[in-house]
Structure 1
Amino acid sequence: MAETPLLRASGPLPPPASYDDLNNIVLQYLILQGHEEAAEHFAHNVSLNMPQDRHTMQVRSYVRDALLHGDVDRAVQRINELDPEILDTAPFLFFELQKLRMIELLRHQKLEEALAFATDELAPLAEEHPALLDELEKCMVLCLLDKDTNIPAGAPDHIQQWLDPMHRLHVAEEVNMALLAAQGEPSESKLSTLLQYLQWGDELVGPDGPGRLEHWSALSLDGPWPVVPGDN
């Protein structure tokens, strides 16, 4: 194979990953994301061992399931059982959970309860942490919308995002990352990192093939990613 500028810059390519390497990467992703049942089935099918200490993974799986079903109370209770300091030391995350609780009240047509909750629970948090005041204002606007839980036409982007069921997943992912960090675990899986590099490589190659960068020797996975000319 002809030597390319990239090969000259980076040296010999490492040996290809084995199936065990790839399976371990997938298993790590499932574990970090809190997909306990899927991780168990996958580990069994590819003959890998699950971690011996699975308590925190079970908690994260439980919390994720609760949030995806809109049951914020159940999620917060289990988080506090694991470590009450997690939410005490993360006011912005706690605000996100409380905001989701308010949104779920609106989904169930409980406008008065949602307004009272925003006043009694969200407002004190925003007063204590002024950076949350803008979010509080957006919450109050949401409470003033029609009781219809469908996304209103022409609603601001943030309201459309909050009322979208996918917002539950967004909050669940933020909580999962916080739980991982509290336990000293990596918050991002190797699979996610590899996909980011794959996307980056695809952007470098582009539709016209490789060679869009003039200085291949500047490429490094340890430094900042270079800007592709013409992509500004």
Structure 2
Amino acid sequence: MSLFWFVIRQLAEIEEQMATSKKVITREEWEKRLNDVKIRKEDMNKLVMNFLVTEGYVEAAENFQMESGTEPYIDLATITDRMAVKKAVQSGNVEDAIEKVNDLNPEILDTNPLLFFHLQQQRLIELIRNGKIEEALEFAQEELAPRGEENQSFLEELERTVSLLAFEDVSNCPVGELLDISQRLKTASEVNAAILTSQSHEKDPKLPSLLKMLIWAQNQLDEKAAYPRINDLSNATLEDPTV
């Protein structure tokens, strides 16, 4: 977070001093300026806790709480129920996930038709994945088709999903990605966000957003200067500037 604001500040300074050629900032100068940026350790700890809580890493959040003294902003016990829903979707057990959501708060699905449709769509995908063709067609006709009649986007998604049945080899299917694990993860994330929202919590962790902002700031600065850039975000390694 401090690095992001540091990059923004450097960008502002360089724009004021900009000539016809790029400004070159050495590693020594960059690190000196970076060290001058002060940020409280408590704020960094809160950022970490926010990520652990939002993504549902209960054990890690508990350990981090003991080690850092950072209090989570929600009851960690509530994370367990939320993660049970997420795990059910990720494992393809959508019916169980729907039951668990309704046990937590029936209004989540009652007030979110898009989420409910996506869960039902995922149920259809799982039936197709398991080769239950007749059951899949019956489910699509009885549960999803009526919703498609009321919403054009739902109908288009339903048609995409049903088109999986037309291909024996899904590797040649233009919508074969629906059978990828990534589709389960996408639906699980949507459910996770809806539960968090229903509990009046942020649905997205702050850390990924800050990293995106850092990438944007670096891209802006690239046009103005050569400086020690971070390309490997996982290690936050500064690379020597290239002129």
Superposition map of 1:1-232 within 5 A: 6-7=12-13, 15-51=37-73, 53-146=75-168, 151-153=170-172, 155-156=173-174, 159-206=175-222, 209=225
Relative to structure 1, the CA distance from residue 5 to residue 92 in structure 2 (aligned partners, 3 Å threshold; closer, same or farther) is: closer
Fraction of identical pairs, as percent: 38
Distance 1:208 1:30 in 2: 36
1:97-117 Cα offsets, whole Å, 9 max, x none, are 111111111222212211111
Where does structure 2 lack aligned partners over 5 or more consecutive residues? 1-8, 16-33, 228-243
Looking at secondary structure, tell me which structure has more helix per residue.
2
Relative to structure 1, the CA distance from residue 165 to residue 5 in structure 2 (aligned partners, 3 Å threshold; closer, same or farther) is: closer
Amino acid at match of 2:63: H
CA shift for structure 1 position 140: 1.7
User: Do the aligned partners of 1:34 and 1:176 also contact (CA within 8 Å) in 2?
Assistant: no
Distance 2:116 2:49 in 1: 29
Distance 2:41 2:103 in 1: 38
CA shift for structure 1 position 185: 1.2
Which segment drifts farther, 135-144 or 77-86? 135-144
User: Do the aligned partners of 1:91 and 1:125 also contact (CA within 8 Å) in 2?
Assistant: no
1:145-194 Cα offsets, whole Å, 9 max, x none, are 32x6xx422x22xx232111111111111111111112211122221221
Structure 1-normalised TM-score?
0.76
1:13-59 Cα offsets, whole Å, 9 max, x none, are 99522333222211111111222233223333433334562343222
For residue 232 of structure 2, what is the aligned residue in structure 1?
none
- Which of these two proteins has the greater Rg computed from alpha carbons? 2
Distance 1:5 1:118 in 2: 54
Larger RCO (CA under 8 A, 6+ residues apart): 2
Distance 2:224 2:14 in 1: 22
Find the residue that maps to 2:59 and give its secondary structure: helix
Which segment drifts farther, 13-22 or 171-180? 13-22
Distance 2:10 2:142 in 1: 64
Where does structure 1 lack aligned partners over 5 or more consecutive residues? 212-232
CA shift for structure 1 position 4: 5.8
